[in-house]
Chains A and B, each alone.
Chain A
Amino acid sequence: MEDHYRMDRTMSTAQDTKISARNVQVHYADNHAIKDVNVEIGDKTVTAFIGPSGCGKSTFLRCLNRMNDTIDICRVGGDILIDGEDIYDPKVDPVQLRAKVGMVFQKPNPFPKSIYDNVAYGPKIHGLAANKAELDQIVERALRRGAIWDEVKDRLHAPGTGLSGGQQQRLCIARAVATEPEVLLMDEPCSALDPIATAQVEELIDELRQNYAVVIVTHSMQQAARVSQKTAFFHLGNLVEYDDTDQIFTNPKDPRTESYISGRIG
C-alpha cells in the first residue's frame, strides 16, 4: 500500500510525462541495437526521433508498444513506463497495450476491406461499440480526426485500397485513433507520400497533438522541425541529444547532432 502511495506521488510530480524510458537496452542476438536509452516523452506533444539509418530510432519506437515481441531474437531490457505502468510487466496484455498505443507505418497498409470496415475493425474486436449506431459514430469521429471524412463520407463501403496514397495513410491514422489510443507511434508516415499529401498528414499530426502523445520517426529533418516540439537524435544505438526542437535545429549541444542536421560528414 505504502509503495503504491509513493508511486502515485512520484507520478503526480511528472504529470506531463506520458512515456518514461529508463536504461532501455535492445539486443538482436549479438547486436546491441539500443544502448542504455533514458527519455521522458511528454503527453500532448509531438516528439520526433531522427538519426541515420540503423541508428535504432525505429527499434526504440517499436519497443513502446512491444512490437519487438514478435521478433524471436530480440531482447528488451530496462523499464518502459506509460502513465507510470511498466508495459513489459507479465500482467500486461500486449493486445490491450497496442489498443492504447496505436501505430502508423511507413507504407499505408489498409486492410483489403471497405473504408468503413477498416476503421470499425479495432473498435469491434475491443468491444467499444454496443450497437451499429454507436459504431457508426465511432467510425465517423475517427475519420474526422483522420481529416479524411469529407473525402470519403459518400463512399464508406468502397474498398480502402482504392484511395490515393495520401488518403490511405490518413485512413490508417483514422484506423489507429478509432480505438481511442493515448499514444500514437508513427514510423516514417510520409515517406511514401507526395508533398501535398505530406502537408495534409503533417497538419493532421499537429491536430492530433491536442489529444495524444505523438512519437514520429522521420528521415526528413525538415519534417521533424515542422511537426515536433521535442526532438531526439539517435546515433549508433545511443540517444545523443534530446531537447526542444527549436534548440536542436538552431543550436544543438552535441557536435554529432550538429553534423547530422546540417548535412555534414560526421
Chain B
Amino acid sequence: MNEHISSAYDRDLEEIQTLVIKMGGLVEVAILNAGEALAKRDVALAESVRAGDKDIDALEMQINEEAARTIALRAPVSKDLRSVLTTLRIAASLERIGDYAKNIAKRTTTLVDIPPINGTDTALKRMSREVQVMLKDVLDSYLRRDAVLAEDVRQRDQEVDQMYNALFREFLTFMMEDPRNITACMHLHFMAKNVERMGDLVTNMAEQVIYLSTGEMPDEARPKDDQTAFVSTPE
C-alpha cells in the first residue's frame, strides 16, 4: 500500500497498530503464564497474571481513544476505515482473552491447596499453549494483512475444541469416581472452558484480519468441534 499524502495520517494508523501488537504481546504472556502457574502450582506467577490484566485493559482504552480520534480527525475510508474498525474489534477480543487468563490465575490460587487431578493440569497447559500459538499467528497475519494465515488459524480452532471435549469427559469421569474430586474438577472445567473461549475469540480476530485484507467477512461456516453441549452421560 502506498503512503498517504499526509504522513501524519500514516503515523496515526501505525501508532494504533503498534498498540495492538503490544497489547497482543501482553495477552500472549498472560496465557502462557496462566498455564504455567497452574501446572507448577505457582501462586506468585498466578498473582502476576492477575495484576498484569490492568495493563491490558489500559491498552484497550488507549486503542479506543486513538481509534476514535483517527475517525474524527481523518475520516478514514476503504482500507483505512477497515483498519481502524478491525483494530477496535481485535482490541476488544484481546481484552476478553486477558480476562479469561486472569480468571484462570484466580482459580489457580484457589486450587493450590487441593491435590492435582491426574494429568489434567498438563493437558490444560498444552491447550493454552495451543491457543497462545494461534494468537501469535493471528497477530502476525494482522501485521502482514495475510488472509491465508488468518484462515489457517481459523481452521485450527477445532483442535482446541477437541482438546476441550476430551478434558470435559475426563472431568466427568473423575467426578463420578470420587465426589471429593468435584471441587477441583469444577474449577478445572471452568479453566478449560476459558481456554476454549479464548480459542473462539482468536478465531474472531482471524475473521477480522480476513475482513481487513479482503474487504469481506469469510462466509463459509468454520468447523466447530465443541460437542460438550450434547453430552448427557459419560461413556
Contact = CB atoms under 8 A, between A and B. Distances in A.
Given A259-B2, A262-B4, A250 B9 contact: no
Nearest to A247: B215
Given A250-B77, A250-B81, A251-B78, A265 B216 contact: no
B80 A262 contact: yes
A44 to B, nearest CB: 26
Contacts, number: 41
A199 interface: no
Chain B contact surface mostly: loop
B86 to A, nearest CB: 13
A265 B5 contact: yes
A28 interface: no
B9 A263 contact: yes
B79 A263 contact: no
A222 B72 CA distance: 13
B75 interface: yes
B6 A251 contact: no
B9 to A, nearest CB: 7
A225 interface: yes
Contacts of A225: 77
Contacts of A266: 2
Contacts of B81: 249-250
Contacts of B77: 221, 225, 249-250, 261-262
A255 to B, nearest CB: 9
Nearest to B214: A251
A250 B2 CA distance: 17
Contacts of A265: 2-5
A262 B6 CA distance: 10
A50 to B, nearest CB: 12
Interface string B1-22: 1111110010000000000000
A258 interface: yes
**Most interface-central of A252, A263, A265 (chain B CB within 10 A):** A263
Interface residues of B, number: 17
A264 interface: yes
Nearest to B76: A262
Interface string B184-226: 0000000000000000000000000000000110000000000
Contacts of B75: 222
B71 to A, nearest CB: 13
Contacts of B9: 263
B5 A251 contact: no
B5 A261 contact: no
A51 to B, nearest CB: 15
A262 to B, nearest CB: 5
Contacts of B3: 264-265
Nearest to A250: B78
Contacts of A251: 78, 82, 215-216
Interface in A144-198: none
Contacts of A262: 4, 76-80
Given A249-B77, A249-B78, A258-B78, A264 B5 contact: yes
15 contacts: A249-B81, A250-B82, A251-B82, A251-B215, A251-B216, A261-B78, A262-B76, A262-B77, A262-B78, A262-B80, A263-B5, A263-B9, A264-B5, A265-B3, A266-B2
Please give me the 9 A-B residue pairs with the lowest Cβ-Cβ distance, nearest first.
A251-B215, A264-B2, A249-B77, A262-B80, A265-B2, A262-B78, A261-B77, A263-B4, A264-B4
Given A225-B77, A250-B77, 20 more contacts: A221-B77, A249-B78, A249-B81, A250-B81, A251-B82, A251-B215, A261-B77, A261-B78, A262-B4, A262-B76, A262-B77, A262-B79, A262-B80, A263-B5, A263-B6, A264-B1, A264-B2, A264-B3, A264-B5, A265-B5
Interface of A: 221-222, 225, 249-252, 258-259, 261-266
